[in-house]
Structure 1
Amino acid sequence: MGDSAKRPKYEFVDINVSGKGAVRTAFANQVDYCEHNGAPITARIVAAIWAAIDAGLDNALARRIVEWQGPPLADALPLRVAGGIHALHLSGAEPALSPIYRGIGADDASIVGEAMRVYEAPLMPWLDGPPQTNEAGRSSNFVAAMLWLARKGLPPRFACLEIGSSAGINLMLDRYHYDLGGVEIGPDRTAMRFAPEWKGPPPPAEAIEIVSTRGCDVAPVDLTDPAQALRLRAYIWPEHTVRFERMEAAIRAAGERKPDLVKANAADFVEAELAKPQVQGTTRLLMHSIVWQYVPEEQQSRITEAMEAAGAKATTDRPLAWVSVEADRTVHRHMLKVRFWPGGDETTQLAWSHAHGADIDWIAG
């Protein structure tokens, strides 16, 4: 077992609660979340946004934040605003933000509040959709889960489907190399290499093959479009410099061969893909990371029903698996979980994982 039993606990926050009080709570929770995931600068930005509003900032942007109509935590409202602020810094539009992003002491609330006042109009569209935090490092979780599934006896040839693919960076996971607790997998000549800090026993050392990848997003991002690529960069937490390097590598990889990515909502996509014939001797695998909270409840239900119905028909030579990396905000960590059919209908947690794949605490044995 890993050290998950020793992890500090935090006050439970219902991510589906809405209202002004929920907005304040969402910002406070996001600050805690960032601090516990190695993102002190992002924590400063999020704290400064709310501090500026608390100090009296009153314009259309501030009012829209305070009067948010949906559940602010599930909608990642604080990170929507923080992404817009980061874009102002990355583009050089607001030099006054530089001390914060350089980690220098400053009057954060005053600086961020002024940016929210001056750039009210360009910041407003950042509230229109959730962050698209496409991070290649999360693919280490998916590959580790495939190794575990192969050890369980599922065919080690995987046809992968992903919802909430954003720019499709994780759809290129077969092009990356992984060192997972000493278990090496993937091509040697590769766009990226991942060696997350590994805790616990290594995953099973199995030979696997990713035969196909296909994904969807309600607003897919074209990595070859500079403007769209800038938007993705803005959602990267500035402390995590390696993520910018990975983004550049992903842009190059997409330029060589774009990922198979379609515009569709998650439920429509899953239902349509599950209706297609499955090749014998392959494991059809649905995967997603840090996206479930953005999927409307009606679509969550449809996906679950579709997966369970397809699972009931799955056979040993045409099995179905469901792998997810999603947040547990009671510990500010992420759980790598899996279900598979036939034989593994109950959800199994394989690991605790960092939001961006920096470390994996393997608890599956």
Structure 2
Amino acid sequence: MGNSADRPTYEFVDMNTAGPGAVATAFANQVAYCQHAGAPNTARVVAGIAAVLETDAASVLLARIRGWQGAPLADALSLRVAGGLHALHLSGAAPELAPIYRGENADDAAIIGAVMRSHETALLPWLDGPPQTNEAGRSANFVAAMLWLADQGLPPRFQCLEIGSSAGINLMLDRYSYDLGGVMVGPDDAVMRFAPQWHGTPPPQRDIAIVSTKGCDVAPVDLTDPAQALRLKAYIWPEHTIRFERMDAAIRAAHQRKPDLVPMNAADFVEAE
């Protein structure tokens, strides 16, 4: 296991910093962040990539990372590469990564370097766009807001419109149930149940109905497409097991009935609706 993941230090820099040294700093900062966020195995993966970058190994993939044209920290460059490696692990295409993701002792840099060489074609497209995430638990905030709005006298029937919906997981909130500080909302046969930690006064108890949901995204993710679903799962840090369970539940729900999600930018969507 590399020492770079053992004693992480975070260097405060402008997120938009580019140029010489910015790539190494971005990777080092991501290692530190992962460690402090309780994701040691993800930290090992990022540190392993960074170690490979410091060698004299040459490839198109490594050249693109080393010579990144944008701001590597703001562009989440390290997580783009880590996401690609995680996808290879999840799909079984790179079983040699398994010891790292299991938290076992291994020569991280050697393993990751070999995988980056043998799977370069598969990894290159992961550099083309930023990580995309979609967390169902965020929908609890929307439901709490609806309870408050209904308590203020608004009609308790809501049409939910969301911009930047990604895979539309939060558009299925009418199929989830919530325990919001003891206030129960949602169907008995919910596909997911949420009980977020609640501090302070719970939201008002009101009967609300979600009559429709619709969202947009410039690059929507189709959860019923195995390749697209895998890509979304690959951006979840493996230590976050609850998020994996939620993603699997959302994928099953989308197979039952897809969320109403259209490919459109926010301005056009708002005008159309």
Compute the TM-score of the two structures, normalised by the length of structure 1: 0.66
Using a 3 Å threshold, how does the CA distance of structure 1 residues 11 and 160 change in structure 2: closer, same or farther?
A: farther
Q: How many residues align?
A: 263
Structure 2 counterpart of 1:58: 58
Q: Partners in 1 of 2:149 and 2:231 — Cα distance?
A: 35
Q: Is the 8 A contact 2:11 2:29 kept in 1?
A: no
For 2:236, give the aligned amino acid.
I
Structure 1 counterpart of 2:110: 110
Q: Is the 8 A contact 1:167 1:222 kept in 2?
A: yes
Q: Is the 8 A contact 2:52 2:109 kept in 1?
A: yes
Residue by residue, what CA displacement relative to the aligned partner does 1:140-181 show, whole Å, maximum 9, x if unpaired? Answer: 233234444555565544332222222111111121111223
Q: Partners in 1 of 2:157 and 2:83 — Cα distance?
A: 38
SS, match of residue 123 in structure 1: helix
Indicate yes or no: 2:98 matched with 1:98: yes
Indicate yes or no: 2:58 matched with 1:74: no
Range that drifts further, 117-126 or 58-67: 58-67
Structure 1 counterpart of 2:257: 257
1:201 is displaced (CA, Å) by: 1.2
Q: Partners in 2 of 1:266 and 1:26 — Cα distance?
A: 30
Q: Is the 8 A contact 2:83 2:234 kept in 1?
A: yes
SS, match of residue 238 in structure 1: coil
Q: Is the 8 A contact 1:177 1:190 kept in 2?
A: yes
SS, match of residue 161 in structure 1: strand
Within 5 Å, give how 1:281-300 maps onto structure 2. Answer: none
Aligned-residue RMSD, C-alpha = 2.2
Using a 3 Å threshold, how does the CA distance of structure 1 residues 74 and 164 change in structure 2: closer, same or farther?
A: farther
Range that drifts further, 117-126 or 74-83: 74-83
Structure 1 counterpart of 2:131: 131
1:14 is displaced (CA, Å) by: 3.2
Unaligned runs of 5+ in 1: 1-9, 277-365
Q: Is the 8 A contact 1:148 1:203 kept in 2?
A: no
SS, match of residue 187 in structure 1: coil
Name whichever structure is richer in helix by fraction: 2
Using a 3 Å threshold, how does the CA distance of structure 1 residues 192 and 31 change in structure 2: closer, same or farther?
A: same
Structure 1 counterpart of 2:200: 201
Structure 1 counterpart of 2:181: 181
Q: Partners in 2 of 1:19 and 1:206 — Cα distance?
A: 54
Q: Is the 8 A contact 1:163 1:217 kept in 2?
A: yes
Using a 3 Å threshold, how does the CA distance of structure 1 residues 80 and 188 change in structure 2: closer, same or farther?
A: same
For 1:200, give the aligned amino acid.
H
SS, match of residue 220 in structure 1: coil
Q: Is the 8 A contact 1:180 1:202 kept in 2?
A: no
Structure 2 counterpart of 1:236: 236
Residue by residue, what CA displacement relative to the aligned partner does 1:44-92 show, whole Å, maximum 9, x if unpaired? Answer: 1112111210233331111111222222233222111111101111121
Q: Is the 8 A contact 1:151 1:204 kept in 2?
A: no
1:116 is displaced (CA, Å) by: 1.0
Name whichever structure is richer in strand by fraction: 1
Within 5 Å, give how 1:1-365 maps onto structure 2. Answer: 12-151=12-151, 155-196=155-196, 198=197, 200-207=199-206, 208-270=208-270, 272-273=271-272, 276=273
Q: Is the 8 A contact 1:223 1:251 kept in 2?
A: yes
Structure 2 counterpart of 1:335: none
SS, match of residue 160 in structure 1: strand
Q: Partners in 1 of 2:156 and 2:26 — Cα distance?
A: 41
Using a 3 Å threshold, how does the CA distance of structure 1 residues 21 and 140 change in structure 2: closer, same or farther?
A: farther
For 1:70, give the aligned amino acid.
G
Structure 2 counterpart of 1:309: none
Using a 3 Å threshold, how does the CA distance of structure 1 residues 116 and 156 change in structure 2: closer, same or farther?
A: same
For 2:192, give the aligned amino acid.
M
For 1:92, give the aligned amino acid.
G
Residue by residue, what CA displacement relative to the aligned partner does 1:221-263 show, whole Å, maximum 9, x if unpaired? Answer: 2111222222222222111222222222112211221111111
For 1:228, give the aligned amino acid.
Q
Using a 3 Å threshold, how does the CA distance of structure 1 residues 163 and 51 change in structure 2: closer, same or farther?
A: farther
SS, match of residue 211 in structure 1: strand
SS, match of residue 28 in structure 1: helix
Unaligned runs of 5+ in 2: 1-9
Residue by residue, what CA displacement relative to the aligned partner does 1:262-281 show, whole Å, maximum 9, x if unpaired? Answer: 112334333x24xx4xxxxx
